[in-house]
Structure 1
């Protein structure tokens, strides 16, 4: 495994520790400390995630045009570290909005160049392993961050935790500056839309778009666990366990994706998602819900490295970051209506209809991905 892949995994580990120390506390900080309403929380998060989604294609395209990756990683990880004092000192909701927008701007700028750099330095036969290792370290950070926030909040308060999150964020930026090595790529000259017009990429984009319409936030699964009888504290522990299981399985599942082939592994993961969501619609109690949550962790551990590996395969080499960014932007735009429709179906027609629709869309996405080219 190339050294740069492990280094980028360490960077993501530190940044996810920093982000997840803050993210679970933000709704309470906004409503309890700053007196904002729930609609303000929704507006801030919607604008923040929308900014990240739209900027992914911009960061990727600029990286290809300039033929470099590392400057975008420095900006993408350095900016969230620099603006953390804005959150710790916030006295008004608009200041929290400013922090979230700048933080998500960094994510938008770094995501596609980082994923492209992993592919640049890896052998194609090992893409699944490389992305699996990266996702394992990233998710380990996502599991540790909330646990640190949970332990430190009674001692330091909201602002103290926000200040402390500066340390892992600064560590992430420092590792990028001093330890990440990139392989220079020839600058891209062809327009992005012309470059990505190859059939395998377009088929993957279409199949992923259909799948994404049924690919909803894990928050809905936590809500379903609550309906099945788990307390909020038990649900929090289940979420931590989910992240730890995901982190443990990501590398072996990435290895499996290499053996099966990333396209077949991605389609298999989509089919597993359909089966798990069909199970969620019929789960009789909390024990079944926890088993399904563990199965969902296994799904995501296979799905994330497999689809990233296949995307790196079908993206044109000189337009790799732009093609990856376009994919993530399309996905980000579709995630909002997916969650909105899922929530509406659950509220109006019950959980069976919502989970059933998601399962059907996942099966359709898998079928489109496996359909032989004409």
Structure 2
């Protein structure tokens, strides 16, 4: 479905096993995956919080060099994500592929203790991102397959809120370790490795092996008390006939997803906006450069983004289900543009860092879970992970290009002109995305839902 599409009306929503009009509890699989993501993000964000300063101040990287490494950090994950999604659909074991990804990332954390040069650090980060790429699409597929279609925005919001709790605790842990330990960076990397191992254990013990009960894949049917047209208000995934057939997943079926117009629209807009989304690491460096934040406080900057994301992830997902994913998604990018504007033109307010971090966190709350929820409603169940991976790969590769371009622009022109160029490009790309993702026939009822 388009980001503009809306969920079924309240009357058509039922609790699993409950009566009409009652919202079902979040699936146990979503909560278990959220717990794994929470623990893993504590580990990952401990490293991410100190990495920009470690590379720029510790290893002496230029903005261009950091942009290349930051792009590699995200680009490898993007390329592998497509492989992970297709592999999970092909072997029909999403938990297994996700577990391999979590395990690989955990194994890479202690290697950072041994990697002190740019080359070794780059290799370790590439391997760690390989693990992230393998796990992302299978994990999101498990979430969507465990949740009714009309409530997937909320389910992804709950997962992202739990994930972001880890992102909130990770920088705080890194900050405390840096203050307490003599060899601070190595201590951060060591503790991160232990926490990552715990996340793998929780995945193995508590995440169900199956792909859910199918509640998010069946056709939308009217419930007792619902209006006669309730089922017809859930948009149909515009899949090619061959894609709706059950059977073994193969490369031909996976590539056939590219023939789905709605999926192409989502993928194109995600990539277009990704080209103008400055990476988190660069935004924090820009904020430090603009406000003169001391180095010892730098690891706390991601904490601000994560706190706002945590508070708003579930409400943003619920708003997307109720009022339309296009509206929430584009609003998020508008708020990011406002953050760029504050960094460029706002006076030297003492509250400037807080305002920028609030806008940055709200941007993530309005976009990070909304996009996979829209993709999940566009592709059949047997290709769910592949579809999510296709869109995620395009977006991540675009952000890889943005990191390279922004690092080069900062080196050549300076921080201000580079950010102004990014802001102008984001404004244009958001306008194009708003046009592409508009409802095809405003006021007309969408076709009946059909899920595989």
What interval of TM-score do these two structures reach, taking the shorter chain for normalisation? Answer: 0.7 to 0.9
- What is the TM-score normalised by the length of structure 1? 0.88
Q: Could you list the per-position Cα deviations for residues 50-103 of structure 1 after superposition, in whole angstroms to 9, with x for gaps in the alignment?
A: 221100001001111111101111101111222333222346554433322221
Q: Which residue of structure 1 aligns with residue 359 of structure 2?
A: 295
Alignment of structure 1 residues 157-306 onto 2, 5 Å = 157=183, 158-184=185-211, 187-189=248-250, 190-226=252-288, 228-232=290-294, 236-278=299-341, 280-286=343-349, 287-288=351-352, 290-306=354-370
Q: What's the RMSD between the two structures over aligned residues? A: 2.9
8 Å contact kept, 1:196–1:316: no
Residues 186-244 of structure 1: CA deviation (Å, up to 9, x unaligned): 64244312134111111111222222222221344334434553523566544422211
Q: CA, structure 1 residues 156+166, in 2 after alignment: closer, same or farther (shift >3 Å)? A: farther
**2:401 is matched with which residue: 327, 331, 337?**
337
Unaligned runs of 5+ in 1: none
User: Is residue 358 from structure 1 mapped to residue 426 from structure 2 by the alignment?
Assistant: yes
Distance 2:352 2:189 in 1: 37
User: 2:342 and 2:328 mapped to 1: Cα distance?
Assistant: 21
Aligned-pair CA distance for 1:270: 3.5
> 2:106 maps to which residue?
81
Contact 1:283–1:289 (Cα < 8 Å) also in 2: no
Q: Count how many residue pairs are aligned between Structure 1 and Structure 2.
A: 373
Match of 2:383 among 319, 334, 337: 319
Q: What are the equivalent positions in structure 2 for 1:19-58 lying under 5 Å apart?
A: 19-26=44-51, 38=62, 44-58=69-83
CA distance in 2, matches of 1:71, 1:182: 8
- Measure the CA separation in 2 of the matches of 1:321 and 1:141: 24
Q: 1:70 to 1:238 in 2, by over 3 A?
A: closer
CA distance in 1, matches of 2:439, 2:400: 27
Bigger drift between 135-144 and 147-156 goes to: 147-156
| 180-189 or 96-105, larger mean C-alpha shift | 180-189
Rate the CA distance shift 1:241–1:57 in 2: closer, same or farther, 3 A.
Answer: same
Please say if residues 95 and 210 of structure 2, whose CA atoms lie closer than 8 Å, have aligned partners that are also in contact: no
Shifted more, 144-153 versus 105-114: the winner is 144-153
> Could you tell me which residue of structure 1 aligns to residue 131 of structure 2?
106
Judging changes above 3 Å, is the alpha-carbon distance between structure 1 residues 29 and 237 closer, same or farther for their aligned structure 2 residues? Answer: closer
Q: Deviations over 1:250-303 (max 9, x none)?
A: 112111111113344323433444455455544233335632431332222121
Per residue, is there more helix in 1 or in 2?
Answer: 1
Tell me whether 281-290 or 16-25 shows the greater mean CA deviation: 281-290
Contact 1:257/1:305 (8 A) holds in 2: no
Partner of 1:328: 392
How far apart, CA to CA, are the structure 1 residues paired with 2:365 and 2:141? 20
Q: Which has the larger radius of gyration?
A: 2
Distance 1:340 1:98, change over 3 A: closer
